[in-house]
């Protein structure tokens, strides 16, 4: 007899989350909002870690009493430290979701290239500062754009290179993925039961595609309306990585369709560069040096 293929994983497959606490960064819109909404619907208590607390309050009011709001600006390490200091009690899952894509050249409050600072370094610092309170797993968002990324350990912040927005985005998302993998290696080496996962949404229609401040905003707006999957569908890989109970640490989850652009979530592969242990270790050391945060493993 032929066995049938497993049914696609959907929101109906999210395990009950009652009694669990999840922090979701960037939860006022897009993937973060959808992730938070579905976790609350599954029974979790969700902390909306957001830069705009007025918008966060509106989302929390919509989601009900299981959602709370705390200020977090990943472009400012002072804010990251203040947020972490205010987190009381255990946190089952940290979802490192917030991000920027293909924005004009800029600098964070600490002088980091904006995309690297927000997408990677802010989340690296946040994870390190919260790790003593995390009880289950960390989920870090990457992108199919990690495939165009290259880690330049000698010029992470594009101080000497000519800035190119998509190259910078690719580097930041490759850094996120390498961080997720290296964190899992370190959990295993330390004998920790914690797990580190990574996820990417494929091509999902969110407000990320409207911040390039160039003609590309209009082009991506058309693509959002014609070929992109919804924000809800784009959040499914994150939810899979955050909630599937027996998922092995180090798993990378993305859409299962052609080119990983859309479709039901499943474990996916990544580039050989993302698994380079020498560069992973070098990136970790540079991140500790730049942020001043030593991850306690």
> Catalytic residue numbers?
169
State whether residue 79 is helix, strand or coil. Answer: helix
| Number of C-beta neighbours around residue 220 at 10 A | 20
**Burial class of 5 by CB neighbour count within 10 A (0 to 12, 13 to 18, 19+):** exposed
Q: Which residue has the tokens 């600006």?
A: 73
Measured in residues, the chain has a length of 297
- Report H helices in 12-52: 30-41
State whether residue 253 is helix, strand or coil. Answer: strand
CA-based Rg of the chain, rounded to a whole angstrom? 18
Residue 114: name the closest of 18, 186, 213 by CA.
213
**Burial class of 173 by CB neighbour count within 10 A (0 to 12, 13 to 18, 19+):** buried
Phi and psi at 177, nearest 5°, equal -70, -40
């Amino acid at each position: 007899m032929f066995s049938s293929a497993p049914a696609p994983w959907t929101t109906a497959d999210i395990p009950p989350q009652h009694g669990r606490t999840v922090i979701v960064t960037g939860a006022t819109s897009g993937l973060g909002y959808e992730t938070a909404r579905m976790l609350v619907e599954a029974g979790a208590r969700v902390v909306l870690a957001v830069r705009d607390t007025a918008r966060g309050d509106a989302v929390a009011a919509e989601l009900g009493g299981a959602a709370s709001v705390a200020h977090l600006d990943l472009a400012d390490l002072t804010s990251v430290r203040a947020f972490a200091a205010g987190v009381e009690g255990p946190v089952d899952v940290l979802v490192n979701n917030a991000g920027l894509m293909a924005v004009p050249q800029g600098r964070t409050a600490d002088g980091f290239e904006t995309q690297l600072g927000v997408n990677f370094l802010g989340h690296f610092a946040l994870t390190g500062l919260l790790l003593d309170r995390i009880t289950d797993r960390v989920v870090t968002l990457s992108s199919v754009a990690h495939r165009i990324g290259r880690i330049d350990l000698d010029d992470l912040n594009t101080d000497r290179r000519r800035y190119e927005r998509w190259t910078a985005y690719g580097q930041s998302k490759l850094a996120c993925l390498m961080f997720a993998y290296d964190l899992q290696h370190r959990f295993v080496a330390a004998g920790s039961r914690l797990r580190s996962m990574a996820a990417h949404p494929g091509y999902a229609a969110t407000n990320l595609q409207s911040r390039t401040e160039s003609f590309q905003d209009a082009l991506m707006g058309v693509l959002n309306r014609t070929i992109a999957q919804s924000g809800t569908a784009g959040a499914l890989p994150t939810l899979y990585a955050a909630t599937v109970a027996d998922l092995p640490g180090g798993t990378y989850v993305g859409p299962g369709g052609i080119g990983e652009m859309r479709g039901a979530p499943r474990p996916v592969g990544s580039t050989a560069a993302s698994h380079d242990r020498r560069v992973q270790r070098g990136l970790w050391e540079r991140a500790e040096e730049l942020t001043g945060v030593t991850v306690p493993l």
